[in-house]
């Protein structure tokens, strides 16, 4: 006589993601906030970090490359995508990972002519034999509502049907009841769906401007989500911390 029983439950792979607009490496008093950024990463131990408002500039004869400084102090792999190229350097977005990037992709987002394109930066990460996914980061153009709408639609079209799961961090600059956000109502989980907490330090309830989206697949779900409000003077934005579970 056989013995029946349920199959052992497979433990999900949990990945912790931090997203933060570091405002060009300056705190709200004009000093450097990089020590705070590094402290945040060491305190919360995310597997992945998306940073917006990142600089790579020459100042007083020295190159100040935020991503490299942070990566060296946190022992993470990093990549940088420049959006605004200036005489003294560039500004853009960066990603960090505890796992190496198998491939990197940098794409300019659509926008007005003669305006430096916003950059989409993606890294392909092979976590294990069971999981390969894309980790992407971008910041939409805060100066043009039309460009933000085009850029959001472009992101959804490009990434929404990806074969590999996608984790996308976006400083969108708009609330969930505004047009660019609507592009992500299909194909995506919003890690903070339903939250009324503002991601801006001086924001009102409901003013979420910063997002982590996860491509909607059967074997992916959002675990936890929170704002880190321990360092309100570090930037005009709060860091976002979320966990994602791959089943």
pLDDT band at residue 1 under the 50/70/90 scheme: very low
pLDDT value for 8: 63
- The pTM for the full model equals 0.92
Is residue 115 included in any domain, yes or no?
Answer: yes
Residue 214, beta-bridge partner list: 167, 189
Is residue 125 included in any domain, yes or no?
Answer: yes
Is residue 142 included in any domain, yes or no?
Answer: yes
- SS percent in the chain: helix, strand, coil, step 5: 15, 45, 40
Is residue 182 included in any domain, yes or no?
Answer: yes
pLDDT value for 86: 73
Q: Exposed (0-12), middle (13-18) or buried (19+): which is 16, by Cβ within 10 Å?
A: middle
Instruction: Give the structural domain span for 124.
Output: 13-246
93-134 pLDDT tens trace: 999 999 999 999 999 999 988 888 899 999 999 999 999 999
157-201 pLDDT tens trace: 999 889 999 999 999 999 999 989 999 988 999 999 989 999 999
Per the model's pLDDT, the better-predicted residue between 59 and 243 turns out to be 243
CA distance 212 to 229: 17
Is residue 47 included in any domain, yes or no?
Answer: yes
CA distance 83 to 156: 20
Is residue 175 included in any domain, yes or no?
Answer: yes
Measuring CA to CA, which residue among 146, 201, 137 is closest to residue 167? 137
At residue 186, φ and ψ (nearest 5 deg) are -110, 140
**Residue 42: CATH number of its domain:** 3.60.10.10
Is residue 111 included in any domain, yes or no?
Answer: yes
CA distance 35 to 69: 10
Is residue 212 included in any domain, yes or no?
Answer: yes
Q: What domain count does the chain have?
A: 1
> Does the pLDDT of residue 3 top 60, yes or no?
no
Measured distance between the N- and C-terminal CA atoms of the chain, rounded to whole angstroms: 33
């Amino acid at each position: 006589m056989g013995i029946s029983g349920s199959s052992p439950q497979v433990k999900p792979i949990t990945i912790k993601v931090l997203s933060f607009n570091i405002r060009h490496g300056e705190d709200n008093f004009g000093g450097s906030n990089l020590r705070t950024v590094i402290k945040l990463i060491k305190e919360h131990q995310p597997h992945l970090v998306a940073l917006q408002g990142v600089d790579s500039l020459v100042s007083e004869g020295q190159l100040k490359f935020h991503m490299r400084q942070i990566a060296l102090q946190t022992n993470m792999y990093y990549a940088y995508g420049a959006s605004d190229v200036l005489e003294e350097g560039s500004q853009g977005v960066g990603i960090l990972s505890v796992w190496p990037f198998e491939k990197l992709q940098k794409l300019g987002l659509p926008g007005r002519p003669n305006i430096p394109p916003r950059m989409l930066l993606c890294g392909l990460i092979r976590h294990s034999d069971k999981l390969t996914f894309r980790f992407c980061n971008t910041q939409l153009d805060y100066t043009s509502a039309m460009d933000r709408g085009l850029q959001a639609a472009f992101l959804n079209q490009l990434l929404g049907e990806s074969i590999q799961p996608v984790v996308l961090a976006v400083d969108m600059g708009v609330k969930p009841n505004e047009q660019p956000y609507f592009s992500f109502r299909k194909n995506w989980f919003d890690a903070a769906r339903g939250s009324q907490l503002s991601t801006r330090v001086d924001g009102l309830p409901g003013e979420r401007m910063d997002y982590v989206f996860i491509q909607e697949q059967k074997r992916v779900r959002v675990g936890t989500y929170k704002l880190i409000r321990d360092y309100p003077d570090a930037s005009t934005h709060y860091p976002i911390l979320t966990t994602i579970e791959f089943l």
